[in-house]
Structure 1
Amino acid sequence: MMRAILMIAGGCCVLLALAGAVLPVLPCTPFVLLAAACFARSSNRALRRLRRLPLLGTVLRDWEQHRGMRPAAKFAALCLALATPVITFTLNPQLSIPLGVSLLGGLVAVIVVCRLPTVRRAVSEDATADTAKIKSGRSNKLRMAA
């Protein structure tokens, strides 16, 4: 029963993450990480499929390998965290509970995003394979031929 609940929760988080990748008001990364946590406890197959998704897999791999975010993702998250209170105030210029919540949420988001490491450069699988070839005996053969 718990496995089914986690699968459903993970699927919902994937849908929210996909929506967050497109919509400017919804974050993507937290939902990807939450989906991965749900799938890790319920289905390794679903977790592998999540890692293979072109858009969401990159976010997940960056987190798993470097525990950080790419600069573009950080920039988007910071812009969203700063824009949300402005939009809230524009729609409702009075000091209100929604404005307070969006200010607090924006502040928390800025603190969290700024504290995360920045993944400067993604190492592709091809580069890793090339490095492995160089470290193997193939590089010695090239040196001997030259």
Structure 2
Amino acid sequence: MPRTRNLRCSSLATTESASMRYLLLAIGWLSVALGVIGIFLPVLPTTPFLLLAAACFARSSPRFHAWLVNHPRLGPWIRDYLGGEGIPLKAKVYAIGLMWLSIGFSCYLVPLPWARGFMLTSAVLVTVYIARQKTLRKRT
């Protein structure tokens, strides 16, 4: 059985408002579900959903955050990013490609110039953000 790092959540800030905590928990679990579906469904990206879940759990439940990060199947998808080691190149290409595909389709459907401008600006900024993230090198 491979050993996993035990990332402690004691330094993570949890949300004080009960309603916000439950909202973050719900978004976190929905993101976990979508991330798991994305493992099997090629159209749905896995890593962004698991990162969103980890962020939601970090603010709402240290226990669920630790569970997700240390999970034997789901943890490796996000551990390298959270550890500062980067995002796999395949995940970067996949996320940027699907984003531009969906933004392009949305721009085709939405006739409002200001909405198209907003969507395209958002896509450019997210692309720059993802591209500037450290790329995880394959281990040999």
Q: TM-score scaled to structure 2, two decimals?
A: 0.63
**For residue 137 of structure 2, what is the aligned residue in structure 1?**
120
| 2:58 paired with 1:40 | yes
Residues 102-143 of structure 1 deviation map (CA, whole Å, 9 limit, x = unaligned) = 3122112211111100001248xxxxxxxxxxxxxxxxxxxx
> What is the Cα deviation at residue 39 of structure 1?
2.0
Q: Which amino acid aligns with 1:83?
A: L
**For residue 104 of structure 1, what is the aligned residue in structure 2?**
121
2:27–2:56 contact (8 Å) kept in structure 1: yes
Residue identity over aligned pairs, in percent, reads: 34
Q: What CA distance in whole angstroms lies between the structure 2 residues aligned with 1:86 and 1:37? A: 28
By relative contact order (CA 8 Å, sep 6+), the higher-ranking structure is 2
* 1:1-146 → structure 2 map (5 Å cutoff): 1=18, 3-18=21-36, 22=41, 24=43, 28-51=46-69, 52=71, 54=73, 56-91=74-109, 94=111, 96-122=113-139
> What is the Cα deviation at residue 34 of structure 1?
2.8
Q: What CA distance in whole angstroms lies between the structure 1 residues aligned with 2:53 and 2:38? A: 13
Q: Which amino acid aligns with 1:96?
A: P
Q: What is the SS of the residue equivalent to 1:66?
A: coil
Q: TM-score scaled to structure 1, two decimals?
A: 0.61
Change (3 A) 1:27 1:97: farther
Q: Highest Rg: 1 or 2?
A: 1
More helix by share: 1
Q: What is the SS of the residue equivalent to 2:102?
A: helix
